[in-house]
Amino acid sequence: MDMVMEIGFWGMQFALVSALLLGAYRLRPKLGLSAVVAVVVSLQFFQGVLGSSFYWEAGERFMVSPGSVILFSSNLALLLYSFARDGIATARVLLYAILIGNIVPYAVGALLWFHIQYSEPHNFLGIPEEIFYQGMLPAVVGISVLYIDQVLALLGFSWMRRRFPFLPVVIPLTVTLVVVLAVDTVLFLSVVHFGHESLSTMIVGGVLGKAAGGMAFGVVWGSHLQRQMLRKADDLKQILRFVFFRDDVEKLREAASRDGMTGLYNRRTFDRIFGELLRRDDRRFSLILCDVDHFKQVNDTLGHDVGDEVLIDIARHIEASTREMDFAFRIGGDEFAVVLPRCDAASAGEVAGRIKSFRFEDDALKFVVTLSTGKAEFPAEGTTQVELYRRADEKLYKDKESSRL
């Protein structure tokens, strides 16, 4: 009877946490993510209290706590649930909410602990002082490992969904939770309790406990999510279409941002990326404009097919001349541009020099086809897109005039 009651209490805790989190998530259309964040942050306090105090025996040598088995596992489960259901934007909000929910109790608890040490409060409930503060090392390691857990969970779940799109969502959700929770246990205990004589026992007990929690959340929440997905699909074709939908959208967005012939980013993407760079805190970057010299003779003499091939060769040359973090664009006709984040004028000059090394010659052509360039640095030579473009264009014109002398 005691075993039945024990299992029943654990089951009720799991059901209550699931109802609170999924219920709050269901209120998003009316309340946004505020209700979800409120529940997540509220549960973090109980996670810390339970994780540092109350444990139940799960065998002759192992002990587990609801703080790690249920509450901690629910954090990662909710993160992956939101990612699978609504994408990375929603998951990112929850990721930071979970982190903040862990940092705040640590900070407030530490302050209360120091307050207790240097004064004589009346502890009417007899609460142990250690419940507020277990030391700096567990706090720093716990928060750091939590962030690693969340990143690994998102990457692992995303990889499994892309690698095995035919699997029901319950499988990648469960596998990801079990694996990441095991990694979390090993990392945290190995650092915080390094050298402890019972370290191996603690790791085994922690891994088994969190694996059980991860499996429970993965199976139950994954099945719930799968049913939601199936309600939107009438047949196998629609189910597969739903599975591949997110990848298809990304492919369509990528195609819409590219120039159809050269594969470089197009003018619309140029404006968007330029605007994003201007809004960033670390906003030092450079702009290089490129124009093809004597290009008209290629189309007139050799034909437009050869002209297209030359433009493609130029695009490949520009990509090879720039850094991996740079953005190359075809902004129209035979005009190209390169945006170089975190790049000063001197470094941009080196890139422009490599770009200008392009040559295309043919016996039928009167002139060698080359590239003229003009560069401008933000914010030294302009603080808006219009100013930088105008400055780079002025230098481009001067370079083009000098090449004709």
CA distances (Å), 6 to each of 2, 9, 68, 127, 217, in order?
Answer: 6, 5, 17, 25, 19
Burial category of 184 from C-beta neighbours within 10 Å (exposed 0-12, middle 13-18, buried 19 and up) = buried
What is the rounded (10 degree) CA torsion for 65, 37, 187, 113? Answer: -70
Q: How many residues are there in the chain?
A: 405
Q: Is 334 a catalytic residue?
A: yes
Query: From CA 104, how far away is CA 41, in angstroms rounded?
Result: 9
Q: Decide if 288 contacts 338 (C-beta within 8 A).
A: yes
Q: Which two tokens stand for residue 271?
A: 């404006």
**How many Cβ atoms sit within 10 Å of the Cβ of residue 364?**
10
Q: How far apart are the first and last CA of the chain?
A: 98
> Residue 135 — left, alpha, or beta (φ > 0 → left; ψ -120 to 50 → alpha)?
left
Angle between helices 385-403 and 267-279 (to 10 degrees): 120
- Is residue 181 classed as helix, strand or coil in its secondary structure? helix
Query: From CA 349, how far away is CA 99, in angstroms rounded?
Result: 43
What is 102-164 written as a DSSP string? HHHHHHHHHHHHHHHHTS----TT---GGGT---HHHHHHHHHHHHHHHHHHHHHHHHHHHH-
Q: Decide if 85 contacts 228 (C-beta within 8 A).
A: yes
Query: From CA 135, how far away is CA 139, in angstroms rounded?
Result: 7
Sheet holding 285-293: strands in order across?
327-332, 335-341, 285-293, 370-378
Per the residue annotation, which of 184, 259, 326, 334 is the catalytic one?
334
Q: Which two tokens stand for residue 256?
A: 């819409």
Residues assigned a catalytic role: 334
